[in-house]
Amino acid sequence: MTADAAAGPGGEPGFTPDFTFSIDGVTVPAKKGDTILKAGLRAGKFIPHYCWHPGLSIAGNCRICLVHATKTMPPGKPVIACATEVVEGMEVESDGPRTKELREGVMEFLLINHPLDCPVCDQAGECDLQQYSFDHGRETSRFEEEKTQRPRKDLGPLIRFVGNRCIVCTRCVRFCEEVAGTGELSVVNRGDASWIDTFPGVELDNPMSGCVADICPVGALLDKDSMHSTRVWLLRGTKSVCAGCATGCNVNVETFDEKVKRITPRENQAVNRWWMCDAGRLTWREATAPARVGAARIAGQEVPFARALERALELVRDASGGVVGLTTGFASNEELFTFQGLVGRGAIAAAFAPDGATFTSRDGFAIAADKNPNREGARRILGEGALGAAGQDAAIAALEEGKVGLAIVHDAAPGGAPWSPRLLAALGKAKARIVLALHETPANADALRGAAVVLPAAHATEKDGTFVNAMGRVQRVRPAVPPPAGARSDLDVLEELARAAALQPRVLSAAGVFRRLAQALPAQFGGLDYNALGELGRPAPGAGEALLGRGRPLPIVDGVRSGYEAGPVSRAPGRADDEQVRPSVHHESLVGYGTRRGDL
């Protein structure tokens, strides 16, 4: 196990304790300058907190982390664990009857003006207020007066504010100030009339605004995209990677009833810290867009998937003449490798989505301008020659020669791959054409029109495989939902085609293809083991900050184990923790493929 894995999510690779202190009689190692809360979390001792977040500065205003500790001034006075530095030999009482009384008191204050609207609140089920009320709160309220009423309004395009639920912990204010760097939010008014609002004439519309809904410990800030769509306790999380740009943010794709309900960030200190951008949050809608190719077609007629695949296999078997392949920066490494094998010595061209908006947060989180999740993978597997205009020119030359028997187009790019009009025109010169397409749009309509077979391509939320992000980190993308009706994933289809072309005796799963890929390309993928990629991925050979090019590199920060991982805090950790990798192939089919369950 490498140091990276041993440290865990948000762990500190080089942690060396300076001294020890004790929490509830348990000896805890600490570094000079640690707070009680931080050192406790590192050692797995959870102390409740609302306003403290590992990625934000210490505010110390919620008071739920009050504990009793020795060696504090004045002696005997409770201290807040989030802002109190530990000293050697300090004895902290975080779980005794005295501390319980403190928390009961704080909870009572926090709940004075909090409405009892959990049944309609989208935070219910992953709400810290609910959790601590259950753990430390009183059963009934002694408050008989009228609760204050605060506004309910949209703060920006993605965020809705429900004032009555706000406990004014200021996590969102600090996020906009310290992370996004845009500072749209502030606390307005005083006392029990204070709430969170944007400055006059300003909207909360920074590129990471969705994160304030994630870090809000209560239901005051809600993501409008997933609001009222389900209840969180129904959701099943799949640990995957966002396909919105080359940063490759680690995400949980949260699904219910085989439908994606939302995408939330997953902590990875080497990639996205705790954050993700708003555009990435909405990528799941690509899978349900009206432009989606939902059914297989033979010569323009919709047919069952199995029949279309059969026809494609025939075309590959009977192909005479050369083969030309077109792919995109949205294909996984495994798909690219199998695709390359399939095209063989023929020309291969990869198209990439054009550069888009870029943004670098104050803490180093970067939205890459490169909107292709796997451009780096395509470069490593296909080589520079296949990329961009050079690759397209080679493909056009091969096609215009008129000796191409089969063109295989793998277009997994949302909105259609931007192939040049010349290339699309030249495609007609191939005797037959097999197209795997995610969307049908004006951009790629010419590729689909006149194709012998069109098969629906899988969206990133439906794929099993790996992407290489802009920094050269190989990360797993896992299938959260099945591909459209009856369809099989792109890798399955490509592997079947490769078998039909007598290139290989059997169809492999993503794990199997990756194993071959790592053996075939030691300079690009050597030393990587699919099963050891884990949840956080591994750097590929030659990975580094220089690859990012645009935006600032992401530093590995001196973080502690995040609250997300350490206890019942925002975004219910247990929900996504079970490692459930759903095979993209039905178990009964495995026998026919000569593959064992373990391979998947």
What span, in angstroms and rounded, lies between the C-alpha atoms of 245 and 368? 6
- CB burial of 358-388 (b: ≥16 within 10 Å; e: otherwise) equals bbbbebebbbbbbbbbbbbbbbbbbeeebbe
Shortest distance in whole angstroms from residue 261 CB to other proteins: 11
Nearest CB to other proteins, comparing residues 124 and 187: 124
Nearest CB to other proteins, comparing residues 189 and 229: 229
| Residue 119 within binding range of other proteins, rule CB under 8 A | yes
Shortest distance in whole angstroms from residue 166 CB to other proteins: 16
| Residue 288 within binding range of other proteins, rule CB under 8 A | no
Q: DSSP state, 40? A: H
Nearest CB to other proteins, comparing residues 15 and 233: 233
- One character per residue 52-91, x = contact with other proteins (rule: CB under 8 A): ----------------------------------------
- CB burial of 197-213 (b: ≥16 within 10 Å; e: otherwise) equals bbeeeeebebbbbbbbb
Shortest distance in whole angstroms from residue 119 CB to other proteins: 3
Nearest CB to other proteins, comparing residues 164 and 186: 164
Shortest distance in whole angstroms from residue 450 CB to other proteins: 40
Number of residues that bind other proteins (CB under 8 A): 12
Structure tokens at 539: 């750097």
| Residue 389 within binding range of other proteins, rule CB under 8 A | no
Structure tokens at 363: 């803490």
Is 485 within 8 Å of 516 (Cβ atoms)? no
Can you give the C-alpha Rg of the chain in angstroms? Answer: 27
**Across 139-269, where does the E strand assignment appear?**
152-154, 159-162, 185-188, 195-198, 221-223, 236-241, 250-256, 259-265
Nearest CB to other proteins, comparing residues 282 and 394: 282
Q: Is 398 exposed, middle or buried (0-12, 13-18, 19+ CB in 10 A)?
A: buried
| Residue 120 within binding range of other proteins, rule CB under 8 A | yes
Nearest CB to other proteins, comparing residues 122 and 565: 122
Site for other proteins in 218-277 (CB under 8 A): 227-231, 233-234
| Residue 152 within binding range of other proteins, rule CB under 8 A | yes
Shortest distance in whole angstroms from residue 192 CB to other proteins: 21
Q: Is 118 helix (H, G, I), strand (E, B) or coil?
A: helix
What span, in angstroms and rounded, lies between the C-alpha atoms of 598 and 518? 18
Nearest CB to other proteins, comparing residues 161 and 564: 161
Q: Is 30 helix (H, G, I), strand (E, B) or coil?
A: strand
Site for other proteins in 487-546 (CB under 8 A): none
| Residue 285 within binding range of other proteins, rule CB under 8 A | no
Shortest distance in whole angstroms from residue 118 CB to other proteins: 8
| SS3 letters across 322-370 | EEEEEEECCCCHHHHHHHHHHHCCCCEEEECCCCCCCEECCCCCEECCC
Query: Which residues contact other proteins (rule: CB under 8 A)?
Result: 118-120, 124, 152, 227-231, 233-234
